Structure 1
Amino acid sequence: MYDWLWLKPVQRFDDMTNISKDLREKLSSNFSFPSISVDTTQHSEDGTLKTRFRTTEGHLTEGVLIPTEERKTACVSSQIGCSLSCKFCATGYIERKRNLNFDEIFDEVALINQQSLEVYDKKLTNIVFMGMGEPLLNYKNVLRAIERITSPEGLGMSPRRITVSTAGVAKQIKQLGDDKVRFKLALSLHAATDRKRHEIMPINDSNNIKSLVEALNYFYKQTKNEITLEYILFNNFNDSIEDADDLIKVYRQVPADLINLIEYNPIEFAKFTKPSEEKVEAFMKHLEKNKVNVRLRRSRGKDIDAACGQLANKGCRILNIK
């Protein structure tokens, strides 16, 4: 039973085929089996799979399997909807219903792992908490899920292969340091001045760049874990050489291993557009010239709305965010 609950993602006691029928009937009569299930799965032309999961009470959330030759990465959600209202992210326009429980997050990963085995004959190699919701606003459940994922009794994945991405909750970043977590941390920066960051990320009002720099330094001092700065390029907003210089200033204040430049994936609710390849290249070369370790992350699954910032549970109620 333990194997069925934690190692094989089943949705019913009847699916536990190697225990007796009488015991299965007794379990069904006396216990409930709350779990998430696969609602729909979409296949991208580039091999990416996006799955919409349904909770016991009918809420929807999404996860993505991103395959490459070297890696099979699960991008997982931590909340149903999101409360942060980032202006460029489709999830930010969805009403937040609730946090995902730790076992639901684990089931999400286990089901994507099962997909990876079925489609690519390989287990997951990496997990990124970059799906729907803010992981650090579901702190206890996310950490408990990671504890189960990394446990030998769970999926046995190394915590070094897990990255938790945050829009920037300084207090909780410091708490990660105090808890001596072993996974990697990514900060969704996306603008390198408070003025511009405030325009696109309301969370900057209570978690400005100075407080985040302080929190990241504290986190690194406590854990020595890898930190990445995430930076989506928006046309004529944060993609100038002056913006690059502002980003370099932030980069030099924190112990970041890498800046991930991310292609912007347009969504119907937002006014932003993607910059030209020439502007992206000029921005990247300016960072490299100033000895910044930078990488351009190309988006996957754009044709099925599975790319960065596109998860939106299409059909859910959209908030009116100005």
Structure 2
Amino acid sequence: MNTELPNIRHLSINDLEDYFNGIGEKKFRVKQVHEWLWQKHAHSFEDMTNLSKDLRARLAQSFSLPALRVDAVQYSEDGTIKSRFRTHDNHLVEGVLIPTDERKTACVSSQIGCSLSCKFCATGYMDRKRNLTFDEIYDQVVLINKESEEKFQKKLSNIVFMGMGEPLLNYGNVMKAIERISAEDGLFMSPRRITVSTAGVAKAIRKLGDDQVRFKLALSLHAANDVKRNEIMPINETNNIKVLIDALNYFYKQTGNEITFEYILFKNFNDSQKDAEELIKIYRQVPADLVNIIEYNPIDAFRFTKPDEEGIQNFMQFLESNRVNARLRRSRGKDIDAACGQLANKG
């Protein structure tokens, strides 16, 4: 495939109309091709079987149609399915299907690698190669949805942008991907079922508010004071907790959308009662709906481990006794490369 040609999925409906007018084709061809690209999920022009062979060949001479393909799949005993996808330019990126009885959730990536270097994240030890385009993000959702339908006979119910990369550092492509995912002529999923998770890019959080987005927002907090957060998340040095609290309040004022805090427990680092007290102080300064307490999935490069079960339960009980809406999220896929970036790092 000649990827120097224009990517046909980056053309608007008007662009497609102009193209077909220019080659003397009927207007209904626009609708046919658009359906193949966004509803029937064609990954080559040859797939477009209601077009003539000559027209398919002409499209292939005029445009490229780069698409993700599945490169490797791992199946966990708990039902989690982790896929490694290969891009047209030979990069690797991950997506995960997380099934429960009530939900089928896709966890998708927004970048190839990451520039933020969070110490506990396998992706943080990879260089950021490039941003994913909106159509590559869309492809992840399509391919994970296909897995869900084949394995569980159910479509995806939810999408979380919690995979490789920082979504708000790929703002335009993430917004456009969500637009496509939620469009009637796309996957037609409600934005209310989509959550974008950020390590804390305050300026972009405010822009989400200005743009009146309809999806949910999660902040990866993981430490409730600046000293500890600086240690494990270098982004905190330029986007400290106070700045983030102000940005989250602005976002909520503009949108009224749900806000969640994500907090991974690390043994003897952020799991004491004092840490819980600091977390409660932050929780009470933001109209957050929920604190997700996350069981850590260790990676080799990071020195921390998860607390024992008693430590986890003590932390949870202290939050609940202080009227914090907290939920414990158990680690999934422990028997596979489930931590973010692990499988792609094996490429």
TM-score bucket (shorter structure): over 0.9
Q: 1:137 aligns with which of 169, 177, 188?
A: 169
2:294 pairs, out of 262, 278, 297, with: 262
- Counterparts of 1:282 and 1:177 in 2: how far apart (Å)? 36
1:81 aligns with 2:113: yes
Q: How far off is 1:208 after superposition?
A: 0.2
1:65 corresponds, among 88, 91, 97, to: 97
CA contact (8 A) 1:91 1:312 kept: no
- Aligned: 1:45 with 2:77: yes
Q: Deviations over 1:90-114 (max 9, x none)?
A: 0000111000011111111111111
* Cα gap change, 1:312 to 1:270, in 2 (>3 Å): farther
Q: Secondary structure at the match of 2:262?
A: strand
Equivalence for 1:299? 331
- The CA deviation at 1:20 is 2.5
Matched, 1:313 2:344: yes
Distance in 2 of aligned mates of 1:181 and 1:311: 31
CA shift, 1:116, in A, is: 1.1
Q: Tell me the alpha carbon deviations over residues 135-159 of structure 1, each in whole angstroms, 9 at most, x when there is no partner.
A: 0000011001101111101110001
For 1:314, the aligned partner's letter is N
Aligned to 1:193: 225
Which residues of 2 match residues 1-322 of structure 1 at below 5 A? 1-307=33-339, 309=340, 311-316=342-347
Offset from partner CA, 1:161-203 (integer Å, 9 cap, x none) = 0000000000100000000000000000000000000010000
- Cα offsets for 1:49-103 (capped at 9, x unmatched): 1111111111110001111111110000000000000000000001110000111
Whole-angstrom CA distance in 1 between matches of 2:112 and 2:98: 21
- Larger Cα-atom Rg: 2
Over 3 Å off, 4+ runs: 309-312
| Higher RCO (Cα < 8 Å, 6 or more apart) | 1
Letter of the structure 2 residue corresponding to residue 56 of structure 1: H
Instruction: Deviation per CA, 1:219-244: give whole Å up to 9, x if none.
Output: 00000000000000000000001110
Cα displacement (A) at 1:312: 4.8
**Counterpart of 1:187 in 2: which secondary structure?**
strand
Distance 1:248 1:220 in 2: 19
How far off is 1:46 after superposition? 1.2
Rounded Cα–Cα distance in structure 2 between residues aligned with 1:8 and 1:49: 23
Q: Deviation string for 1:243-280 (max 9, x for gaps)?
A: 10010011111110100000001101111101000000
Q: Provide the secondary structure at the position in 2 that maps to 1:228.
A: strand
Name the amino acid aligned to 1:195: V
79-88 or 294-303, which deviates more: 294-303
CA offset digits 1:264-300 (Å, max 9, x no partner): 0110111110100000000000001111000000121
Say whether the 8 Å CA contact 1:86–1:200 is kept in structure 2: yes
Q: TM-score normalized by structure 1?
A: 0.95
State the distance in 1 between where 2:40 and 2:81 align. 20
Amino acid in structure 1 at the alignment position of 2:296: Y
Q: Distance in 2 between matches of 1:242 and 1:141?
A: 40
Please report how far the alpha carbon of residue 34 of structure 1 lies from its aligned counterpart in structure 2 after TM superposition: 1.4
Larger deviation, residues 283-292 vs 32-41: 32-41
What RMSD in Å do the two structures reach over aligned CA positions? 1.1
SS of residue in 1 equivalent to 2:344:
coil
**Structure 1, 43-52 or 136-145: larger mean CA deviation:** 43-52
Name the CA distance, whole Å, in 2 between partners of 1:36 and 1:191.
Answer: 35
> Which one-letter code corresponds to 1:71 in the other structure?
R
> Which runs of 5 or more structure 1 residues have no equivalent in the other structure?
317-322
SS in 2 for 1:140: helix
Tell whether the 8 Å contact from 1:46 to 1:300 is kept in structure 2 after alignment: yes
Bigger CA drift: 40-49 or 92-101? Answer: 40-49
Number of residue pairs matched by the alignment: 315
Gaps of 5+ in 2: 1-32
